[in-house]
Amino acid sequence: MYSDKIMQIFANPKNVGTLKGADATGEATNEFGEVVKIFINAEDGIITDAKFKAYGSVVAIASGSTVTTLIKGKFLDDAINVSNEMILESLGGVIDKEKIPSLKIAREALLLALKNYKDKFGEI
Amino acid sequence: MENRKIYFDNASTTYVGNEALREMMPVFSNIYGNPSSLHSFGRDAVNLVDIARDRIAKAIGAKASEIYFTSGGTEANNLAIKGLAYANRHKGNHIITSCIEHSSVLEACRQLEKDGFIVTYLKVDSHGLINFADLLHHINSNTILISIMTANNEIGTIQHMQAIAETAKEREIIFHTDAVQAVGSISYNVNAMGIDAMSISSHKIYGPKGVGCLYVRDGVKIQSVIAGGKQERGVRGGTQNVPAIVGFGKAIEVAVRDMSVNNKKIKTIKEYFVKRLTESISDVYINGHPAQRLQGIVSVSFDCVNAEAVLTMLDMQGIAVSVGSACESGTIEPSHVLKEIGLDDVLAKGTIRFSFGKSNTKEEIDYLIETLIPIIEKLRNISPLRKKKRKED
């Protein structure tokens, strides 16, 4: 069973969608075959917009929403520090152990997007 | 509307029907004797157990002496596989089953493999049917047991029972069938059908949970798989669950009595559901055999969405369904049945089992469809796979 917080986020996920011509994207998969893709735009080192797409379970979708919410308005080099613990905290603090890979892919997608940004624009 | 609750998970379990409930309730406090006791309290209890045994035997065309009560379908399958295998080991050590059996059959077989038995797990085609030639090919002089479920609990496909039973009989091989999902939907006559052993569960047919039985034809050797007393003629130790057995007996009697009425009703509901579903939502696939199937089970694969997410959203609207089967939750591995019928990973993980019962209505199907349409649309909008697929098309 899931916390009310996860259920709320899952039922009304924020930032769903793509960014056309996004500055950077990152796509991660896990052993469950789930996929999270993150799109970011940035200006002057600050993330101005973030969107996600997710194929997967309740946790994968809620994590995609949470990660994009957490990084919006953050400096790119602060976004790197968004941890799985922070995502978990935003999801209400508890999930079943076997669901952790569904949470982790959101962060992996974020790190890949940041790497993609760095590859394209040099320093972040 | 928010508090509305609709149950489309009747293959997982059913509510206890009124007639069964009415018979079993007084037993809890009034007829509490131990059926093994020699006094009047015990005799009263044993009388009730005997009535239930008669009813069950009658429902499947067996003799009362051929019914052994268990704690349910899982125990009945364990008793069948292990009890028949060990009791007939002197004749051979080879067992044939299928790869889409319930886990209680598959796991029992795996345990036997560790103890020197050889097990063949027959493959199935994309409809979930075993191949008859394949069965014949694998039978050898050491084959002592063939165990094939009548109807699959996830996709509803019904096997060619007659042909399998006849093959087994000609070769003097014991034929067991897991009938847990089929009883109440299919009429059984174990003699006419050539069935030597059959597992039945009470809670799938509007009886109480925690009780079931194994039918074993008189003359077929079986041994107990749990150490205990001499209850159930030494085949299954442990004090019988008298109230549950009473409820089970009534439930199966009612199920057989009302079978044609219920089947007709459920078929109408199912056909209406399939029609509305396929008209309303694109890229859905119905699994299992198109004709040779239980009407109550509809396994649907929704492309590009995850079944757990669909289930959770339906649950938030008060609608209960299953992913694959209730016994295989979690997101790591899709159900073995869906894999064996050849579904790709994404479709297998996007598969929901809707199972209908005698109390479901067309109006409930309307509510289901109206709820399902935006859910699938929403999840497909979130899904990155959807866009990729469209591009490929």
Q: Domain ranges for chain A, please list them.
A: 4-121
Cβ atoms within 10 Å, residue B60:
23
Q: Which of B99, B213, B304, B327 is catalytic?
A: B327
Nearest CA in chain B to A14: B382
Of B371, B277, B311, nearest to B1 (Cα)? B371
The hierarchical CATH code for the domain A4-121 is: 3.90.1010.10
Nearest CA in chain A to B313: A11
CB–CB contact A58 B312 (8 Å):
yes
Distance between CA B347 and CA A91 in Å, rounded? Answer: 28
Where do you find CATH 3.40.640.10 in chain B? 18-257
Q: By CA distance, what is A26's nearest residue in B? A: B384
Q: Give me the pLDDT at residue A122, please.
A: 86
User: Angle, to 10 degrees, between the axis of helix A4-11 and the axis of helix A58-71?
Assistant: 80
Contacts of B197 (CB under 8 A, 6+ apart): B80, B84, B174, B175, B176, B177, B214, B215, B216, B217, B220, B222
What does each of the 393 residues of chain B score in pLDDT, given as a tens digit? 457 999 999 999 999 999 999 999 999 999 999 999 999 999 999 999 999 999 999 999 999 999 999 999 999 999 999 999 999 999 999 999 999 999 999 999 999 999 999 999 999 999 999 999 999 999 999 999 999 999 999 999 999 999 999 999 999 999 999 999 999 999 999 999 999 999 999 999 999 999 999 999 999 999 999 999 999 999 999 999 999 999 999 999 999 999 999 999 999 999 999 999 999 999 999 999 999 999 999 999 999 999 999 999 999 999 999 996 444 444 457 789 999 999 998 999 999 999 999 999 999 999 999 999 999 999 999 999 976 665 555
Per the annotation, the verdict on B213 as an active-site residue is no
Domain B6-14+259-392: state its class: alpha beta
Strands B118-122 and B94-98: parallel
Strand A46-55 vs strand B351-355: parallel, antiparallel, or unpaired?
Answer: unpaired
How distant is the Cα of A55 from the closest Cα of chain B, in angstroms?
Answer: 4
Contact residues on chain B for A31, CB-CB shorter than 8 A: 332
The closest alpha carbon to B285, from B361, B207, B357, B342, belongs to B342
pLDDT tens track for A39-65: 999 999 999 999 999 999 999 999 999
Alpha helices in chain A (DSSP H): 4-11, 58-71, 76-79, 84-90, 100-121
**Chain B interface, mutation test: which of A37, A55, A57, most B Cβ atoms within 10 Å?**
A55
CA distance A107 to chain B (A): 16
- Best CA proximity match to B270, nearest among B299, B249, B238, B236: B299
Pairing mode, if any, of strands B351-355 and B322-323?
antiparallel
* Domain made up of B18-257: CATH architecture: 3-Layer(aba) Sandwich (3.40)
- Give the ipTM: 0.94
Q: Which helix (H) or strand (E) holds B211?
A: none
Task: Give the closest-approach CA distance of A28 to chain B in angstroms.
Answer: 11
